[in-house]
Chains A and B, each alone.
Chain A
């Protein structure tokens, strides 16, 4: 049996914190694995890391499957690397609802940063989480935070209309779309279209690209008219990520968004409060779920049968199980 940690990876809390502060990728990588396994005994370490953290710029990148998120992230990282910035990327892809397995294909698009010591890339499977990220993402960000990267990018799974968890983890959310995404009513809908701090129309060589940009600009103008308290007007950027076109422009807008947050301390404070509140809620949810599972165990099949036969109902069964929690 292999050792739980490789010979080079430290095992006590102080040593782990020191190793992370020194930028040790192996310690970071193993810790993220252990977070994904929900090892409960990591909590003291994560508490220490959380309390010391919160200083790193976190950029979220989201959008539908195949719009070019990973390719764009790779090109963004290249722009930042040229400026000498050190970057970590956490890239989430979906798990199979059938087997729990996954094919994580984000790293494939980021080859140009292999073997660059200033870049850390970690793929993560969503493992059933529905908000566009993985359950382990929050704690993984806490670990990355401790490594003093200049920027952390978190890339969501390919999302639909309602996967908005990214806004609770990233200070700046970049929402990617491609041309031909639908009409102005699609742009006016609630959900994902509301959370972009920066809108990107990728694959901009498509003849419909300018039309899509106009639709987004109109939606943004209208949203600002309805919410005059909002001080940030999300820019719309055209990119062609495979060729790197428009990416420097996007990086400039990301800087602009962070500068805006810095100049608006009240907005930034509310955002941080919102994120903290959400994180507490998330953990509460996991802890309750764990207690429920450990207290109740698996649902007895005869009770399920009674619901199927309509002799009982889902409300009664759920309330009964909750009452059995200590």
Chain B
């Protein structure tokens, strides 16, 4: 039930994609797995998402895409890398045609969850692949003397 304890996720849409039902459903599925979801809703730009990722210090970013906005999705990956936080995986869900999977993954999208994906598959992927900052050892310099 709480396999995702300690993991913080952004769930968002990009641009004019206003199909919120999927993102809100996934947010609740993740919530029920013990994950903390920062829900950004719609009308986000890639810059806004990356800005939020820095300030919220999230471990993985989930983008719901129902508007064929693949260039913007890939832009999120590129901006994360440019900001030296490319270790935050970006995953996608939505009505993305399978013919696009190869090019998206080739551009750095970690995983894609098409319609019909199970809750277990999404949660399982996040638990196993989220940036493990939350579990990382404490730097020696900060240990109490």
Interface residues of A (CB under 8 A from B): 1-8, 11-13, 25-26, 29-30, 32-34, 37, 39-45, 95-96, 98-105, 107-108, 111, 114-115, 120-123, 125
CA distance in complex: A43, B142 (Å) = 9
With beta carbons under 8 angstroms apart, the residue of A13, A34, A104 that contacts B36 is A104
- The interface residues of chain B lying within 8 Å CB-to-CB of A115 are 47-48, 51
B22 CB to closest chain A CB (Å) equals 14
Task: Flag if A101 contacts B35 (CB, 8 Å).
Answer: yes
Task: Flag if A125 contacts B36 (CB, 8 Å).
Answer: yes
On whether A7 and B57 interact (CB within 8 A), knowing A101-B31, A108-B39, the answer reads no
Task: Flag if A103 contacts B37 (CB, 8 Å).
Answer: yes
In the complex, besides A30-B57, A111-B41, 15 extra interface pairs with C-beta distance below 8 angstroms are A1-B132, A1-B136, A3-B136, A29-B57, A33-B8, A99-B32, A101-B31, A102-B36, A103-B27, A105-B41, A107-B52, A111-B44, A114-B44, A114-B45, A114-B51
Contact of B21 with A by CB under 8 A: no
On whether A102 and B144 interact (CB within 8 A), knowing A5-B139, A37-B134, A107-B40, the answer reads no
Task: Flag if B55 contacts A2 (CB, 8 Å).
Answer: no
Task: Flag if A39 contacts B138 (CB, 8 Å).
Answer: yes
Interface majority SS on B: helix, strand, loop or mixed? Answer: mixed
Interface residues of B (CB under 8 A from A): 1-2, 4-6, 8, 27-28, 30-41, 43-45, 47-48, 51-52, 54-57, 84-85, 87, 131-134, 136-139, 141-145
Most buried by B among A7, A25, A99, A111: A99
- The interface residues of chain A lying within 8 Å CB-to-CB of B28 are 103
The total number of A-B Cβ pairs within 8 Å is 128
CA distance in complex: A25, B56 (Å) = 10
Task: Flag if A122 contacts B56 (CB, 8 Å).
Answer: yes
CA distance in complex: A12, B56 (Å) = 21
On whether A96 and B57 interact (CB within 8 A), knowing A101-B37, A108-B41, the answer reads no
With beta carbons under 8 angstroms apart, the residue of B34, B45, B54 that contacts A100 is B34
A302 CB to closest chain B CB (Å) equals 25
- The interface residues of chain B lying within 8 Å CB-to-CB of A30 are 57, 133
A142 CB to closest chain B CB (Å) equals 15
* A-B CB proximity, top 3 nearest: A4-B136, A101-B31, A114-B48
Task: Flag if B145 contacts A101 (CB, 8 Å).
Answer: no
Task: Flag if B40 contacts A108 (CB, 8 Å).
Answer: yes
Closest B residue by C-beta to A42 = B142
With beta carbons under 8 angstroms apart, the residue of A4, A100, A107, A114 that contacts B137 is A4
Task: Flag if A33 contacts B47 (CB, 8 Å).
Answer: no
